[in-house]
Amino acid sequence: MSIKFGIREKLLAPLIIGLAVIICILFLFVQPTQFKKAKQQFIESQTNIIKTLSPSIISNILANDLAELHRIFENSQLIHKDEWLYIKLLDQEKKQIYPIFTSKPETSDTLIKINFTIEENLEVFGYLTLHTDWKKTKEKELKSIREINFSSILLFFLIAFTSFILQTKWIYTPILKLKEVTSQFSLGNYSENLPTITQDEVGLLSSSIEQMRDKIQNTMNELIDGEQKQRAILDSVPDAIITIDDKGIIQSFNPGAENTFHYMASEVIEKNVTKLMTPEFAAHHDDYIQNYKMTHKSQIIGLQRELYGVTKYGEQFPIELTINAKTIKGKTLFTGVLRDITERKKVDRLKSEFVSTVSHELRTPLTAIKGSLDIITNGLNLELPEQASSMLDVASRNVERLLTLINDILDVSKLESGEINFLLEDIKINSFIEDCIELNQEYAKKHKTKFVCTQCENDAVVNADKDRLTQVMSNLLSNAAKYSPSDVPVEIFTTIHAKKLRINIKDYGPGIPEEFQSVLFEKFTQSDSGDTRKVGGTGLGLSISKMIIEKLGGSIGFDTIVGKETTFYFELPINNEQ
C-alpha cells in the first residue's frame, strides 16, 4: 500500500497551518494595529514636546524676544531635524512671527500636521502649526514591528521545528522501525527482533506486537505440526484422495491416488480431473459442478457411488467414490475419496457364482427328493405306519423349507449380481392387489386370519415387473399373516401422494421391537430369532423385497407400534400417461 500522507506529513501539517495562521494574524491584524498605535504615540510625543516648549514660547512672546523665540524653534528644529520639517507660529492676531523666510514643505504621505494653541490660563498667546515627518520614526517602528514579527515567526518556527523533530524521533521513527519489523513478519520472518522503545504508547504497541508475534509463531508452529500430521495421515491412507476446484482443476493428489491412478501428483495437479474418468462420466462432470454451484444441492455429494476410473495407461477399473464439497472463502473445493474395488468386485462375482452353483447343485437333488417324498405320501396310496408317515411329513416339510431357502438365496445372489432382468409392463394396481390377495388367501387361512382390502379402489397404473412385484406382495402378505393374531384380518389399502402410489399392508400383531427396526431389511433377519421356528421363513424375504422395489425405482418401509400394529408399505411412481 502506498502512503500518500504519512505520519510525518500529518505531524507537519498542523505546524505549517499554525505558522500560516500566525503569519496572517501578525501581518493582517497585529502589524496594522501596532502601526496605528505607533503613529498615535508619535503624534502624542510631538505634542508633548511642543507642550514643554510652550512656557518659554509664551515668555518670549510676552517679552517680544523674537530672537530667543527663533532660537528656540531653530534649536528644536535642529534637535528634531528628521521630523520637524516646518514650524509656523502666529501671534494672537494670527500674524506670522515664525518663520520669516522658510516656506511650507511639500506634503508627503508621512507628513503629519499638528495644530497647537499656545495658551495659559485660558489666555491665547499664539497658534503653532507643526509639520512633522514621521518617516524615520515610521521606518524605525516598522523595522521594530518587523523584527518582533520576524522573531515571533522564528520563535514559533523553532518551537514547531523542534516539536516536529521530537515527534519524529518519538513517534515516527519507532513506528517506522515497527513497520520494518512487521514487514518481515509478513514475509514469514518472525525471528526479527523488535526495537527497544521508550516506555510510552509506542513502546506498548511494540510489546503488543511482540506478544502477537510470539502467538502467531506458536500458532504457525502448531499449524505446521498439524499440517504435517494430516499430511502424514493423508500420505499413509491407501485410498485415493483428490481435491478439485469448482472448475474441475486438481488441487491435491495424495500418494494413495498416485498408486491408484499411476500418475505422479506433479503430472496431474493443475490439470482437469476428467482425465481420470471414463468419457461417459466425464461428459456429465462439468454439469454436476455447475449445478452444484448454482443450487448448492447435488444428488452425488455425500453419497457413495460406484463407477469407473481410468489409469495413466488408459485402463478402466471400478471405483467406489464419495464426494464432499466445502466452500472456503467463497471458493468451492470438492474432495473425492476413491477406492479401487476391482478385487472386491472379483470376490463378489466369485461368491455369487459359487452360491448360484451350489444352490443349483443342491436344488436338483432336493427337487428329486421332494418329488420322491410326494409320490410316497400322496401318489402311491400306501398304507404307512403312523410313525413312518409322521417322519415322511417331517422330511417333506424340511425339504420344502430347504428349497425355499435355496430359491431365496438364488434370488438374492441374482439381484446382487444384477443377473435378473426385469420385464417391465403397466400394471393396474386395483386388479393386481385383488389377484395377490386371492393368491395368498389360503396361506392366511392357515394362520387363522384373512386379507381384507379396505381401500383399493383407484385406477393407478405402475410400470413394473409383475412377477417380481407379486413376489414382494406375497412376502409382505405372508409376513403379516404370520404375525397377525388369530381371527384378526390383515388390512390392505392404497394411498397416492405426489404422483407416487403407496400400498400398505397392516397387521395388528406384536409390532417390531425397537432393536430390530434398523436391521430389518438386512439379510437373514427376523424380528424374533426365537420365534423363527414358530412363524417360519428364511429371513431373506424383506431383503429381497427391498432390492426388487429399489431396482424398480421405488422405496420400501414400515411403521410400527410395538404390541399393537405394524404397517409395511412400498411406493412406486405412477405411470398413468395413457
Partner 1 sequence: MYKTTIFLLPVFLLSLFSLHAQAENKAVYTIGIVPQFEIRHIRKIWNPILNEIKRSTGITLKLVGSPTIPDFENEVLAGNFDFAYMNPYQILLAQKSQGYTPIVRDNGRKLHGIITVRKDSNITSVKELDGKKVAFPSPNALGASLLVRADLQNTYDIKVQPVYVKTHSSVYLNVVVKQTTAGGAVQKTLNQQKENIKAALRVLHRTPKVAPHPLAAHSRIPTSDVKKIKQALLELGENKIGKSLLAKIPMKKIGDASMEDYFPLYKLNLEKFISK
Q: Nearest CA to 513 among 560, 568, 567?
A: 560
Angle of the 386-417 helix axis to the 541-551 helix axis, nearest 10: 30
Opening angle at CA 139, ends 75 and 133, nearest 5: 40
When the beta carbons of 102 and 367 are compared against partner 1, the nearer one is 102
Cross-strand partners of 506: 491, 567
Please, which residue, 73 or 116, has the CB nearer to partner 1? 73
Does 65 contact partner 1 by CB under 8 A?
yes
Distance, CA of 511 to CA of 509 (rounded, Å): 6
Around Cβ 426, how many Cβ atoms within 10 Å?
Answer: 13
Candidates 457, 544, 459, 456; CA nearest to 506 is 456
CB of 30 to partner 1, least distance (A): 48
Answer for the pair 116, 128: CB distance below 8 angstroms, yes or no: yes
Sole window of 39-47, 64-72, 425-433, 454-462 interacting with partner 1 (rule: CB under 8 A): 64-72
State yes or no: residue 78 binds partner 1 (CB under 8 A). Answer: no
- Which region among 61-69, 141-149, 203-211, 427-435 touches partner 1 (by CB under 8 A)? 61-69
Q: Site size for partner 1, by CB under 8 A?
A: 15
Contacts with partner 1, 11-50, as mask; x by CB under 8 A: ----------------------------------------
User: Binding partner 1 by CB under 8 A: which of 70, 177, 447, 466?
Assistant: 70
Examine residue 357 and tell whether it contacts partner 1 (CB under 8 A).
no
Torsion angle of alpha carbons 31, 33, 39, 45, nearest 10°? -110
User: Could you tell me which stretch among 96-104, 143-151, 458-466, 551-559 binds partner 1 (CB under 8 A)?
Assistant: 96-104
- Residue 94 contacts partner 1 per CB under 8 A: no
Distance CA 381, CA 384 (A): 9
Interface with partner 1, residue 95, by CB under 8 A:
yes
Q: Which is nearer to partner 1, 38 or 89 (CB)?
A: 89
What is the rounded CA–CA span in Å between residue 437 and residue 491? 11
Least distance CB 87 / partner 1 (angstroms): 14
- Residue 189: other Cβ atoms inside 10 A: 10
- Tell whether residue 56 is a contact of partner 1 (CB under 8 A): no
Cβ count near 29 (within 10 Å): 10
Kindly tell me which residue out of 96, 324, 357, 455 binds partner 1, with binding defined by CB under 8 A. 96
Could you check whether the bond before residue 99 is cis, i.e. omega within 30 degrees of 0? yes
Phi, psi of 262 (to 5 degrees): 65, 15
Counting Cα atoms < 13 Å in the Cβ hemisphere of 46 gives: 29
Rounded CA separation 292/307 (Å): 20
Q: Which is nearer to partner 1, 68 or 400 (CB)?
A: 68
Q: Is 3 in the site for partner 1 (CB under 8 A)?
A: no
- Using CB under 8 A as the binding rule, whether residue 1 contacts partner 1 is answered as no
CB 69, min distance to partner 1, A: 8
* Contact region with partner 1 (CB under 8 A), list: 58-66, 182-190, 369-377, 401-409: 58-66
CA atoms of 103 and 96, how far apart (whole Å): 12
Closest separation in Å from C-beta 152 to partner 1? 49
Taking the complex as a whole, how short is the minimal distance between the CB of residue 51 and partner 1, in angstroms? Answer: 24
89 or 503, CB closer to partner 1? 89
Residues forming the site for partner 1 (CB under 8 A): 63-70, 91, 95-98, 100-101
